[in-house]
C-alpha cells in the first residue's frame, strides 16, 4: 500500500481565524448530506455559476487566477484523528465502497471539517476544528471555533464570505499574543525535558529563531531576528531555571536577561512584541502557523496498555492544537479583554454539558516531498497538480 499523505494539519502554513458557532437549524452540519450540499454550493460560487437563477455576487476565480486552471472538485469531509485519516487513505487506495469510507469517521469522533479545493494545477484546503474535549453545541448550532486557511486571497475571501452568509457566522482573524507564542515554546521545552521523555532539546532543536517587532513605535526598524544555535538553546533553558521568578518560563526569562544585558533591549516592554518563533517542530506567528509532523512513537517503549508511548513532541503538538482551539473559542488563557467581550456577544447560550474523552494519537508523518501528486484514487488519477504545500517564504 502507498504511504499515507501527511495529516492535513502538518507541513502547511495556515492563516488563523476564529469563527462563532455555525447556525444550521435542524439539519446537522456534520452529516454527509449536508457536507455534500455545501461542497456543491461553494463550488458553484467559486466557478461563478448562477444560484437559483440569481447571479452570484463574486466574480469567477477561474479567470482571475489563470495559473490554477479550472476548478475540478470541491470536497467537504469530516476530519478525524490521524488513525482515522490513515484508515481513510487505505480505503481510498483499495477502492473501498463509498458507504464504507463515509463511516470511517463519525460526527462524534471528528475533529472537524476539511474543505478541499482541487484546481487543475493546484489544491488548497481549510480546516474547521473544534475542542477535542468539548463537542456539545447549542441546538441548531455547531461550534467549530478554529479555522485554518491555506488559499490565495481571492479564493479565501469568497470562502470566508460563504461561511458568513450560509451559517450566520462571524469570522475574524485570530491574533495570537506574544505570551501565547512564548508559552507554546516553553511548553515544548517542558515536554522535551521531562523525565520520561526519550527526546531532548539538544537532539530535536537544531536552531531557534525569535523575531521581535515594534508595532507603532518606529517606522525605521520593523523587526529584529534573534537566531540561537541549537547547542545554545539548552544553555538558555538551564540558565533560566536558576534565575528568580522563572519557574514557568525559564527560556524566555533567560533570553530577556541576555538581551537586556547585551543589547539594552527589554522585551518585557509593552512596545516590544515577540511576533514569530521558529524551531524544529513549528513556526508560529501572530496570524499564522506551520506545524511539522511530530516524531513517531517508539515501539520499544510501550505503556501499560501495550501500545507505544507518545513522544514528547507529539504531546507538545497535542497541547498546541488544544490551546489554539480554545484561544479561538474564547476559553484560552491569553486573550485580551476586548476579544473576550466580542466573543461573549456573538456566542449563543448553551445548557449542554461538556463531553470529555481521551485523545487518541497516531502518526502520519510522511515527508511532504511527494505533495505534487494528485489526491488518492478515490479522487482521480495523478495529473501533475500540486497539493497546497507551504510556499510562503516568509515562514
> 48-101 pLDDT, tens per residue?
764 444 444 455 565 567 678 889 999 999 998 887 887 777 777 666 555 555
The pLDDT score that the predictor gives to residue 280 is: 77
The pLDDT score that the predictor gives to residue 53 is: 45
DSSP bridge pairs for 239? none
The pLDDT score that the predictor gives to residue 295 is: 80
Contacts of 195 (CB under 8 A, 6+ apart): none
**Contact (Cβ atoms closer than 8 angstroms) between residue 75 and residue 46:** no
**Contact (Cβ atoms closer than 8 angstroms) between residue 9 and residue 22:** no
The pLDDT score that the predictor gives to residue 360 is: 41
Query: Cell digits for 233?
Result: 538553546
* Intervals of the chain under pLDDT 50: 50-57, 102, 349-382, 393
DSSP bridge pairs for 298? 309
The pLDDT score that the predictor gives to residue 137 is: 72
Contacts of 290 (CB under 8 A, 6+ apart): 11, 12, 13, 14, 282, 283, 284, 390, 392, 395
Query: What are phi and psi for residue 77, nearest 5 degrees?
Result: -130, 145
User: Between the CA of residue 364 and those of 4, 10, 115, 393, what are the distances in Å?
Assistant: 7, 9, 19, 24
Number of H helices, E strands in the chain: 11, 17
Q: pTM score, two decimals?
A: 0.81
Query: Cell digits for 284?
Result: 508560529
Q: Are β-strands 112-119 and 123-129 bridged in parallel, bridged antiparallel, or unpaired?
A: antiparallel
Query: Cell digits for 136?
Result: 456539545
Amino acid at each position: 500500500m502507498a504511504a499515507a499523505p501527511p495529516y492535513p494539519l502538518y507541513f502547511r502554513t495556515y492563516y488563523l481565524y476564529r469563527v462563532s458557532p455555525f447556525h444550521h437549524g435542524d439539519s446537522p452540519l456534520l452529516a454527509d448530506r449536508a457536507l455534500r450540499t455545501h461542497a456543491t454550493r461553494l463550488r458553484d460560487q467559486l466557478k461563478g455559476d448562477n444560484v437559483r437563477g440569481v447571479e452570484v455576487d463574486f466574480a469567477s476565480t477561474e479567470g482571475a487566477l489563470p495559473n490554477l486552471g479550472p476548478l475540478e472538485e470541491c470536497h467537504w469531509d469530516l476530519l478525524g484523528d490521524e488513525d482515522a485519516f490513515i484508515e481513510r487513505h487505505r480505503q481510498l487506495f483499495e477502492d473501498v465502497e463509498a458507504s464504507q469510507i463515509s463511516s470511517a469517521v463519525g460526527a462524534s469522533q471528528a475533529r472537524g471539517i476539511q474543505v478541499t479545493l482541487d484546481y487543475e494545477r493546484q489544491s488548497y484546503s481549510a480546516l474547521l476544528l473544534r475542542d477535542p474535549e468539548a463537542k456539545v453545541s447549542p441546538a441548531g448550532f455547531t461550534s467549530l471555533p478554529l479555522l485554518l486557511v491555506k488559499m490565495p486571497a481571492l479564493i479565501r475571501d469568497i470562502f470566508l464570505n460563504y461561511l458568513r452568509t450560509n451559517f450566520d457566522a462571524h469570522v475574524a482573524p485570530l491574533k495570537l499574543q506574544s505570551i501565547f507564542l512564548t508559552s507554546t515554546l516553553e511548553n515544548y521545552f517542558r515536554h522535551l525535558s521531562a523525565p520520561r521523555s526519550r527526546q531532548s532539546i539538544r537532539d530535536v532543536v537544531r536552531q531557534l529563531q525569535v523575531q521581535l517587532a515594534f508595532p507603532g513605535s518606529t517606522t525605521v526598524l520593523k523587526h529584529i531576528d534573534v537566531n540561537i544555535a541549537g547547542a545554545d538553546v539548552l544553555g538558555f533553558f538551564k540558565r533560566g531555571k536558576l534565575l528568580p521568578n522563572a519557574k514557568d518560563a525559564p527560556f524566555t526569562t533567560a533570553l530577556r536577561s541576555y538581551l537586556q544585558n547585551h543589547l539594552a533591549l527589554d522585551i518585557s516592554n509593552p512596545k516590544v512584541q515577540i511576533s514569530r518563533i521558529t524551531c524544529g517542530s513549528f513556526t508560529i506567528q501572530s496570524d499564522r502557523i506551520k506545524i511539522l509532523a511530530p516524531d513517531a512513537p517508539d515501539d520499544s517503549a510501550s505503556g501499560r496498555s501495550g501500545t507505544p508511548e507518545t513522544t514528547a513532541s507529539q504531546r507538545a503538538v497535542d497541547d498546541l492544537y488544544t490551546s489554539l482551539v480554545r484561544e479561538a473559542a474564547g476559553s484560552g488563557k491569553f486573550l485580551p479583554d476586548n476579544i473576550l467581550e466580542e466573543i461573549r456577544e456573538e456566542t449563543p447560550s448553551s445548557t449542554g454539558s461538556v463531553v470529555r474523552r481521551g485523545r487518541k494519537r497516531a502518526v502520519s508523518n510522511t515527508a511532504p516531498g511527494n505533495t505534487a501528486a494528485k489526491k488518492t484514487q478515490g479522487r482521480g488519477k495523478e495529473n501533475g497538480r500540486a497539493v497546497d504545500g507551504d510556499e510562503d517564504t516568509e515562514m
